[in-house]
Structure 1
Amino acid sequence: MPLVWIARKYGYDVSRDRRITYVDFSPPLLEMANQEHWRIFYIGSRPEACVAGTEAVRVRYPGIKWEATNGYFDMTRTGAANQDLVRRIRKFAPDILMVGMGMPRQEQWIAENHADIEVGVILPCGAAIDYIAGAVPTPPRWAGRMGLEWLFRLFAEPRRLASRYLIEPWYVIGLLLRDRLKRVAAPK
């Protein structure tokens, strides 16, 4: 939601009308994967949430060929654990690779490893399995429509998300103010 506010401040015509999150599109995506018997490999979450989520997916979507591993491993690109994981993914040959290690870890891992993995779709998906496993409560859709999903998530996981939602935005606001001052001071 803050991105919508920032974009509006910079003169872009954006709205929440077309906003979509993983919570919105995961059920139809997983249902389609179930019907088409897709192969999905998931990386992420704490070990217990990964196991519970894997079990839940296999029960709800028995047509999906599902493989998963938790997000607690040495992500060093040339490290043994990472190389073993890349080999495991290649051997499984998924249609979709879901990476749910949270921002920015999941994006960093994808950027460093995507060239070594042959997969049609790589989906950074944050707390996807945590929601499916019931490890964290799924934000209600009304909260997302009102731009308050972040607040729901903050109350659900204050220790993990307090810095992201209460401290990091001030850094971004500082960058935006600096940019704005440069634009105002720039000769025309």
Structure 2
Amino acid sequence: MAYRMQHLPDRAEGGSDPLALVNFPTEAALLADVEARLRAEQGFAIATLNLDHVVKMRRNGDFLRAYRAHSHVVADGNPIVWLSRLSGRPDVALVPGSELIEPVAALAARLGMPLAFLGSTEPVLRAAASALEADHPGLKVAACVAPPFGFDPEGPAADAMVDEVAASGARICLLALGAPKQEILAASGLARHPQLGFLSIGAGLDFIAGHQVRAPVWVRKIAMEWLWRMLSNPRRLARRYLDCALVLPSLTGTALAARRRK
């Protein structure tokens, strides 16, 4: 595929240790590098690793290849943070994708670089754009692109939508498509438009638009957001979290093996 770039050749080539994909341990390190790339007119693709992504990588080779093509990967989920520290990386901190929207919007406003949204629905995108522009004076959302139902991130329609984003003058595109669609599109989009930055944020824009409610802060602080989400939609999420729990033993073994090697 066109997006098989070489950003992460050493860490991820074998794919046996998904924890090694995390190459930016903190939000501060991530934002500093993103700013440097924006100033240099270089693009990027940011993925936020969690257990659900690990499960999907093991089942979907395209998803794993897309992750390997990302320039930035952070730990989105306490299990990834804990396992990374178990592997001998004490600097890895929690960086949820939905919590990157505000600092990235602030950065874009400060640098005078427009954003674009791709994903979700037109009402959500417009509401989120209004909210972010109000909260960050000087910010411009140059494009809001809502794909049709059944959108194929590897089809010609995807290329046309990324071309629309690029033509709008946006420098950063927030992808709200869910995994693995958003990561696959980010990888192919960066290969197609190397000056664009892509950030996959899942339901983050729905939170900002008020169309979904995130877990209360106290729930997040005790690392129980996953339980809050599952109880709010058990039919859809129970199986997902069971699959996540089932990968923990092998990931723990991988982390311990990495620690021994260090």
TM-score over 0.5 for the pair: yes
Verify: 1:2 aligned to 2:79, yes or no: yes
Cα offsets for 1:110-139 (capped at 9, x unmatched):
123321123342211111211110111133
Residue 69 of structure 1: CA displacement?
Answer: 1.4
Q: How large is the RMSD of aligned CA atoms in angstroms?
A: 3.0
Q: C-alpha distance in 2, partners of 1:63/1:161? A: 38
- Identify if the C-alpha distance between structure 1 residues 35 and 168 changes in structure 2 by more than 3 Å, giving closer, same or farther: same
The 3-state SS of whatever aligns with 2:190 is helix
Equivalent residue letter for 1:110: A
Cα offsets for 1:77-123 (capped at 9, x unmatched):
342x2232122022123221111212222111112332112334221
The 3-state SS of whatever aligns with 1:75 is coil
Bigger relative contact order (CA 8 A; separation at least 6): 2
Verify: 1:88 aligned to 2:197, yes or no: no
Equivalent residue letter for 1:136: Q
Q: C-alpha distance in 1, partners of 2:238/2:216? A: 20
Aligned residue runs from structure 1 range 111-126, under 5 A: 111-126=187-202
Equivalent residue letter for 2:205: I
Cα offsets for 1:37-58 (capped at 9, x unmatched):
3210111223432232233234
Corresponding pairs, count:
176
Equivalent residue letter for 1:50: L
Aligned residue runs from structure 1 range 98-113, under 5 A: 98-113=174-189
Cα offsets for 1:115-165 (capped at 9, x unmatched):
112334221111121111011113333333322222233334444433322
In the other structure, the counterpart of 2:209 is: 133
1:41 to 116, 140, 152: 116
Tell me the TM-score normalised to structure 1 length. Answer: 0.74
Residue 3 of structure 1: CA displacement?
Answer: 2.2
Equivalent residue letter for 2:166: R
Q: C-alpha distance in 2, partners of 1:163/1:109? A: 25
The 3-state SS of whatever aligns with 2:215 is coil
Contact conserved, 2:190 with 2:197, CA < 8 A, in 1? no
Equivalent residue letter for 1:34: A
Equivalent residue letter for 2:164: R
Q: C-alpha distance in 2, partners of 1:23/1:110? A: 16
In the other structure, the counterpart of 1:186 is: none
Equivalent residue letter for 1:20: V
In the other structure, the counterpart of 2:230 is: 154
Identity %: 26
Query: Please, which runs of 5 or more residues in structure 1 have no aligned partner?
Result: 184-188
In the other structure, the counterpart of 2:154 is: 77
The 3-state SS of whatever aligns with 2:144 is strand
In the other structure, the counterpart of 1:143 is: 219
The 3-state SS of whatever aligns with 1:31 is helix
Q: C-alpha distance in 2, partners of 1:141/1:15? A: 23
Cα offsets for 1:10-54 (capped at 9, x unmatched):
5435488x3222344433332332343321011122343223223
Equivalent residue letter for 1:87: D
Higher radius of gyration, 1 or 2: 1
Query: Please, which runs of 5 or more residues in structure 2 have no aligned partner?
Result: 1-77, 258-262
Q: C-alpha distance in 2, partners of 1:120/1:112? A: 11
- Identify if the C-alpha distance between structure 1 residues 159 and 88 changes in structure 2 by more than 3 Å, giving closer, same or farther: farther
Q: C-alpha distance in 2, partners of 1:90/1:24? A: 24
Equivalent residue letter for 2:167: K
Contact conserved, 1:136 with 1:156, CA < 8 A, in 2? no
Q: C-alpha distance in 2, partners of 1:29/1:113? A: 19
